[in-house]
């Protein structure tokens, strides 16, 4: 049986101001297929499927979201952040891996306590 390629996602947490852009990257230690999806999850809601096959936008998803693929490197970009874009973003291939948490600042940075 073949093991899964080693995958890394970065950053694990990012805090970005409104209307700025942000990219989340996923790298592998070997070439992998483009069967990769990006999901957004807010609070207790079910994850929303945004991107499929690495760079294809799901129907109804705003075009400020995009995905890129380069063999071993994947990227997910939001071109102009709105407050409703805050949430947890997951990249899924054939397994699940740690997510990236995105915080969108309305003005001054906010301190979150857990």
**What's the CATH number where 85 sits?**
2.60.40.10
113 located within any domain: no
Average pLDDT value for residue range 13-31:
82
111 located within any domain: no
33 located within any domain: yes
In this predicted structure, what is the pLDDT of residue 108?
Answer: 52
Structural domains counted in the chain: 1
Centre a 10 Å sphere on the Cβ of residue 73 and count the other Cβ atoms it contains.
Answer: 13
98 located within any domain: yes
- 0.75 cut: is pTM over it? no
2 pLDDT exceeds 50? no
112 located within any domain: no
Average pLDDT value for residue range 42-62:
91
Range(s) of the domain holding residue 82: 7-103
The rounded Cα 33 to chain-centroid distance in angstroms is 17
Distance separating alpha carbons of residues 66 and 57, to the nearest angstrom: 7
Instruction: Report helix, strand or coil for 85.
Output: helix
User: For residue 9, which of 84, 62, 75 has the smallest C-alpha distance?
Assistant: 75
Name the percent of the chain lying above pLDDT 90. Answer: 32
Distance separating alpha carbons of residues 71 and 33, to the nearest angstrom: 7
97 pLDDT exceeds 80? no
40 located within any domain: yes
Radius of gyration of the chain (CA): 14
85 located within any domain: yes
What pLDDT digit, counting tens, does each position of 102-112 carry? Answer: 777 766 544 44
114 located within any domain: no
Distance separating alpha carbons of residues 13 and 18, to the nearest angstrom: 16
């Amino acid at each position: 049986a073949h093991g899964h390629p080693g995958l890394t996602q970065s950053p694990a947490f990012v805090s970005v101001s409104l209307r700025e852009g942000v990219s989340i990257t996923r790298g592998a230690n070997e070439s992998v297929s483009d069967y990769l999806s990006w999901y957004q999850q807010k609070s207790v809601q079910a994850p929303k499927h945004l991107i499929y096959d690495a760079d294809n936008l799901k129907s109804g998803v705003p075009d400020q979201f995009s995905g890129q693929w380069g063999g071993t490197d994947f990227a997910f970009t939001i071109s102009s952040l709105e407050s409703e874009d805050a949430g947890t973003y997951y990249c899924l291939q054939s397994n699940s891996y740690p997510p990236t948490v995105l915080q969108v600042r309305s003005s001054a940075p906010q301190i979150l306590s857990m």
